[in-house]
Amino acid sequence: MATTEELVQWTHEQKCQKAVESLGKNGFTARYCATTQEASDYILSEAGDAVTVGFGGSMSIAGMGVEARLRDLGKQILNHGHPALSLDERLEIMRSQLTCDLFLSGCNALTLSGELVNIDATGNRVGAMFFGPRKVIIVAGRNKLVDGTSQDAIIRVKNHATPPNAKRLNFNTPCARTGFCSNCNSPERICRIATIIDRKPRFTDLHVLVVNADLGF
């Protein structure tokens, strides 16, 4: 008989595979990855002809360690998250990400019906997801899966992703203090731009990796 851990892993796999199937029906290039290593290797294989690689500020991507591997391959890394950068330098990198060869990002929520749901403060990340870069790879861990509608996914983002992100970025918002969304009007509110990508954008080579591991928030 299978162990509890094996059964839990099997259950997660079925949900991941369901999301991949739905993404495929919606026109995306979608792939199930059993491990983060498999996802990392896929990104490296797809980055072969890329000169510039943009990073959308994803904790999922950061935790995979692909930036160092891409840098070792001689890629020009466009990452606006390095703390030594000035605001002007960060904005310049964000603009460059919109026309890079390969853009890497996580996903705040992914419905089992194949909808990518994200909320941004600035819009550079979500903008680059659907137009501009030659190729986009979005990584979604199993913890981002939502068995429900896109509105359920937005609730998931505000309840589970926004508070820890606001705290991580040292924003002075109610959720960064309490851990709960209050739909605030704070000047530093990071929930400003919500996007739902429910079909593959017409002119974007968009790949989605659904990973059977907990990644990011």
pLDDT tens profile 135-151: 999 999 999 999 999 99
pLDDT band per the 50, 70, 90 thresholds, residue 2? confident
Contact (CB, 8 A) for 97 and 80: yes
The set of residues, in sequence order, having a beta carbon less than 8 Å from that of 84 and lying 6+ positions away, is none
pLDDT surpassing 90 at residue 1: no
Topology adopted by domain 18-111+122-147+196-211: Rossmann fold (3.40.50)
pTM, to two decimals: 0.95
Are 211 and 142 in contact, with CB atoms under 8 Å apart?
A: yes
**Sign of dihedral through CA atoms 151, 17, 41, 202?**
negative
Q: What percent of the chain has pLDDT over 70?
A: 100
Domain regions of the chain by residue span: 18-111+122-147+196-211
Average pLDDT over the chain reads 96
